[in-house]
Amino acid sequence: MLCRETLKINQAGHLEIGGCDTVDLAKQYGTPLYVMDEAYIRNVCAGYTATLDSVYPDYKVCYASKAFSTKAIYTIMREEGLGADVVSGCELKTALAGGMDADSIYFHGNNKLPEELAEAVKAGVHAVVIDSFYEMTLLNEIAAQKNKRQSVMVRVNPGIDAHTHHFVQTSRVDSKFGFSIADGTAQKAIETIGTFENLSFIGIHCHIGSQIFELKPFELAVEKMTDFMVALGKVGIPVAELNMGGGYGVTYTEEDKPLEPRQYAEAIAKKVKACCAEKNLLEPHLVLEPGRSIVGEAGITLYTVGAIKEIKDIKKYIAVDGGMFENPRYALYRSKYDAVLANRMSDSAEETVTVAGKCCESGDMLIEDIRLPKAQSGDLLAILTTGAYHYSMAGHYNRNPIPPVVLVRDGRSDYMVKPESYERIMELDTYPVWIKKR
């Protein structure tokens, strides 16, 4: 287990996070339970900003909302000097409700809805990141209706293979995201924007993938993006902002060897400076969009062990009170995790087991073949690095409530997201007029 000052084994032999005993958290809030470590989140944010302050002062770090979006997380981001990127109308509304300044928000997405674009223009977001010709036409019409001129960036595809799972590679030539530099559509898109009266082009954006452990793909992307800036300059199009996206890796298991967040930021910033100097470019305003690297390792999920089933000479299952409804990543990506028995941290691992969820699906697994102490019904299982893409991807499969989220710091705990009741899940149900209510 990857320990730190705010995630460690306490004197009772229990897992402790943010100064709170996880056994006590489970008793107070129940399980399954998402737990987020505030001090860790703030430390990562400060690492990004301190690094860029010294290396590349003309910058903005924008939190990638899709990793984990709640009002409280945006408040924390704002307090740490970060902006946000959002990809839906509700993420935008949540960011604003959390106190995020609209001018610090970038609106992304490959198929933004008309009502979402209208909300973005109305709010005054810093930029809408254009992802299609259809979108630029639609956005221009909406901005004209509101008598506004909307700043836009263009998402471009530099063609970098970041060697991640193919479902999370977003910058290959064959991608639903962005305009390709190689086939000329990126330049054509930017030139087309120049023909719209209510759009103002300010820069280019790319995002080459997720869970990237190396610096080389990012440096190659900077090379490609600054080459493209040179090409745009030759046709009289200045690039004021360069958004290099995110994708920085985190540790899920011992196999993962990510760099520290500040190392990604430093390498990208230094490469931008070097490329601009070499290619005689004015240094653009640099934007980075970390998400998982800020909240991923900050989160754990607590479960209670229930049924235990052993199939002789084949496999042993331990079932927990969560599953694919609150963590669909294994079902989607076969994502790997580390886990511990949080109430028995001093016990030695004795057996290899598979952690199963409670959903009515044979594929509802959370971890396969992990070494743990011999589990008993009632034990507290903690799965680590669940702060990103867990709550945000959770659903109501089998009508299971999405677990609450608790924030911990200095021995204190409180809800970031309150628990759902069965009644809350059912409250939008209704009866068509031809169905007789009993």
Give the active site residues: 360
| CA separation, residue 282 to residues 219, 261, 278 (Å) | 18, 26, 11
Nearest to 192 by CA among 137, 118, 126, 141: 137
Q: What are phi and psi of 179, to 5 degrees?
A: -110, 135
Please tell me the total number of residues recorded for the chain in this structure.
438
Strands 339-341 and 315-320: unpaired
Within 10 Å of residue 334's Cβ, how many Cβ atoms? 10
| Alpha-carbon span 319 to 366, nearest angstrom | 9
| Alpha-carbon span 315 to 128, nearest angstrom | 50
| Alpha-carbon span 367 to 337, nearest angstrom | 6
The answer to whether the beta carbons of residues 402 and 326 sit under 8 Å apart is yes
| CA separation, residue 117 to residues 178, 205, 302 (Å) | 17, 18, 38
Q: What residues does 212 pair with on adjacent strands?
A: 248
